[in-house]
């Protein structure tokens, strides 16, 4: 894990830095948003109130409880990435706990992957 993890971390850092540099250069060249001529004082903030108030009312416990999906398929249907990740990790742990009986399913998943 050490050598592979180090390579993955190095790759991540290099690619992230490169993408940030490309984004900064593109921003300086193309000046995105310069043609809108918007005055921040005249923007109607009432349209954003639904989003900002929903974010303020969620505390840590509600956030953690929101990670747990109502149903297994509900996590995939809603598209909530944290719920999908939780279901995937629990499924992987359960599959690993089955031992030898789960080998055919693991082989099938590896084949399709």
Model pLDDT, residue 1 = 65
Q: What is the three-class DSSP state of 78?
A: helix
d(CA 33, CA 21): 19
Mean pLDDT over all residues of the chain?
A: 89
d(CA 111, CA 113): 5
Q: Name the band, by pLDDT with cuts 50, 70 and 90, for residue 55.
A: low
Q: What is the three-class DSSP state of 6?
A: helix
Q: Which residues contact 68 (CB under 8 A, 6 or more apart)?
A: 83, 86
- For the chain, the structural domain boundaries read 1-32, 56-113
Q: pTM, whole model, 2 decimals? A: 0.52
d(CA 8, CA 1): 10
**Is pLDDT at 25 greater than 70 in this prediction?**
yes
User: Distance between terminal CA atoms of the chain?
Assistant: 21
């Amino acid at each position: 894990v050490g050598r592979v993890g180090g390579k993955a971390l190095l790759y991540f850092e290099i690619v992230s830095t490169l993408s940030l540099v490309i984004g900064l250069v593109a921003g300086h060249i193309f000046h995105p948003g310069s043609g809108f001529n918007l005055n921040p004082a005249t923007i109607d903030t009432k349209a954003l109130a639904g989003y900002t108030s929903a974010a303020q009312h969620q505390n840590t416990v509600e956030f953690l409880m929101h990670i747990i999906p109502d149903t297994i398929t509900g996590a995939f249907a809603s598209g909530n990435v944290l719920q999908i990740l939780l279901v995937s990790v629990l499924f992987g742990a359960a599959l690993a706990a089955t031992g030898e009986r789960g080998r055919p399913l693991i082989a099938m998943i590896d084949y399709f992957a």
